[in-house]
Structures are given as structure tokens and as C-alpha cells.
């Protein structure tokens, strides 16, 4: 498996300096949460730095990559191909960076989540929203919550996504609603 430094070198030719900075911030948040929740810091550093490796491919490139590599494109991804950077990035992490399945899956689920997600996936999902480069109302509160309760943090992130979609008068996808139900059930059954 490639090291963080080796992946950074590869990323320099694939994503902008700004996105590389974002990736480093996500990596740092992943490491911090790994420490708090007793996960492997090295694995989380790697998924954090690598998660957006395909984020600057064009829609055509993403769709083409999926066709060539037999990666299925769902309805949401058909309307919004940029979502594919998660699946494509996961495949690149597996093939080029030598990531095992569970680490590649964290990248696969980082944008819209999945039912179920393991701890690595959950930490990456959260870190992408609360990394140091993110600036929006409530981000500090979310950063504090992330240190105490992973499930509640994910629910908060899903709810703000839903609010955003509603404010744009777009339809909320089935997957997002399923994810919301999964985490609210999990919290209520504690
Ligand atoms: Fe992303
Ligand atoms: Fe990201």
C-alpha cells in the first residue's frame, strides 16, 4: 500500500492546490477522530488524504471510467455525475494505491454515505464536513459534537444536507432518507 507522502505526490498532478489542502485538513480531522475512537490512525490518514483523488475529473471522464471498469451508475449519479468521484476514487485507491476493501469503501461512501457504514467510513464521512478548511454556520458545534457522538454528528450532517436540498427545491433521494432513518433509529434505540 502507498504511503501518505506517496499519495500526496500523485495527487499534486490530479487535483488543485486548494483541494489538496482540503484533503490534508480532512486527513488531520480523520487522525484526530481515530485517536478519540480508538481506530487505526494510519488507515484513517490514508483514506483522508486519498478521498477526493477523482474529484477533479470531468463528468465525461467519470462516466467513461465507470463504463471501462464496469462500475454501475445509479439514478442519482446519472443526474449528478460529480457524485461518481466517490466510486471512481475508491476504485483508484484500490487499484493504484493498494487500499484494501474496507478503506476503499470509506472513499466510496464519503459523499452520500451508506447503510451500513463501518467506523472508518463514518469518520471519513464526518471529517469531510468538519475539516479545518470548512467554514459555515454551526461548523464549530459540529466539530465538538464529533468528538462526543458519531451517530448524532452524522444525523446532523444529513439533516443539513436535506435542508439544503429543500431550499433548492430539489428532490431528496431515497438513499438519503434511508440513511437518515438508519441513524435516527440507531440513536433512538440506544
Ligand atoms: Fe468528495
Ligand atoms: Fe472532500
The C-alpha R_g of the chain, in whole angstroms, comes to 16
Span from the CA of 189 to the centroid of ligand 2 (angstroms):
31
Could you tell me if residue 90 is inside a domain?
yes
Could you tell me if residue 46 is inside a domain?
yes
Range of the domain at 102: 4-135
Span from the CA of 183 to the centroid of ligand 1 (angstroms):
21
Alpha carbon 132 to chain centroid distance? 15
pLDDT (average), residues 29-52 = 98
Span from the CA of 163 to the centroid of ligand 1 (angstroms):
19
Span from the CA of 51 to the centroid of ligand 2 (angstroms):
6
Question: Alpha-carbon distance 68 to 66, whole Å?
Answer: 6
Give 98-132 pLDDT, tens digit per residue: 999 999 999 999 999 999 999 999 999 999 999 99
Residue corresponding to grid cell 477522530: 33
Ligand approaching nearest to the C-alpha of 26 = 2
Give 83-98 pLDDT, tens digit per residue: 999 999 999 999 999 9
Ligand approaching nearest to the C-alpha of 49 = 2
Ligand approaching nearest to the C-alpha of 129 = 2
Could you tell me if residue 56 is inside a domain?
yes
Give 45-67 pLDDT, tens digit per residue: 999 999 999 999 999 999 999 99
3-state SS assignment for residue 178:
helix
- Grid cell, residue 77, equals 449519479
Question: Alpha-carbon distance 140 to 111, whole Å?
Answer: 20
Span from the CA of 70 to the centroid of ligand 2 (angstroms):
24
DSSP E strand stretches across 49-103: none
CATH number of the domain enclosing 10: 1.10.3210.10
Could you tell me if residue 140 is inside a domain?
no
| pTM of structure | 0.97
Span from the CA of 190 to the centroid of ligand 1 (angstroms):
30
pLDDT (average), residues 141-151 = 98
Number of domains in the chain: 1
3-state secondary structure 103-170: HHHHHHCCCCCCCCCCHHHHHHHHHHHHCCCCCCCCHHHHHHHHHHCHHHHHHHHHHHHHHHHHHCCC
Could you tell me if residue 91 is inside a domain?
yes
Span from the CA of 185 to the centroid of ligand 2 (angstroms):
27
Could you tell me if residue 142 is inside a domain?
no
pLDDT (average), residues 26-53 = 98
Span from the CA of 53 to the centroid of ligand 1 (angstroms):
8
Ligand approaching nearest to the C-alpha of 19 = 2
Could you tell me if residue 163 is inside a domain?
no
Could you tell me if residue 155 is inside a domain?
no
How far CA 99 is from CA of 7, 22, 47, 65, 68, in Å, comes to: 11, 21, 9, 18, 20
pLDDT at 190 over 90: no
Span from the CA of 105 to the centroid of ligand 2 (angstroms):
15
Amino acid at each position: 500500500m502507498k504511503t501518505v507522502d506517496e499519495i500526496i505526490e500523485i495527487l499534486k498532478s490530479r487535483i488543485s492546490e486548494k483541494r489538496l489542502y482540503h484533503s490534508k485538513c480532512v486527513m488531520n480531522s480523520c487522525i484526530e477522530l481515530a485517536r478519540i475512537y480508538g481506530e487505526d490512525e494510519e488507515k484513517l490518514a490514508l483514506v483522508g488524504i486519498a478521498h477526493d483523488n477523482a474529484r477533479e475529473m470531468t463528468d465525461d471522464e467519470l462516466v467513461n471510467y465507470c463504463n471501462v471498469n464496469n462500475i454501475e451508475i445509479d439514478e442519482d449519479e446519472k443526474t449528478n455525475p460529480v457524485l461518481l468521484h466517490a466510486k471512481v476514487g475508491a476504485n483508484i485507491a484500490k487499484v493504484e494505491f493498494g487500499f484494501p476493501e474496507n478503506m476503499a469503501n470509506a472513499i466510496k461512501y464519503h459523499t452520500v454515505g451508506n447503510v451500513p457504514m463501518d467506523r472508518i467510513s463514518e469518520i471519513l464521512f464526518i471529517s469531510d464536513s468538519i475539516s479545518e478548511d470548512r467554514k459555515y454556520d454551526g461548523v464549530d458545534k459540529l466539530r465538538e459534537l464529533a468528538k462526543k457522538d458519531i451517530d448524532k454528528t452524522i444525523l446532523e450532517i444529513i439533516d443539513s444536507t436535506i435542508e439544503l436540498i429543500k431550499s433548492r427545491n430539489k428532490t431528496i433521494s431515497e438513499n438519503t432518507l434511508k440513511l437518515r432513518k438508519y441513524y435516527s433509529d440507531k440513536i433512538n434505540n440506544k
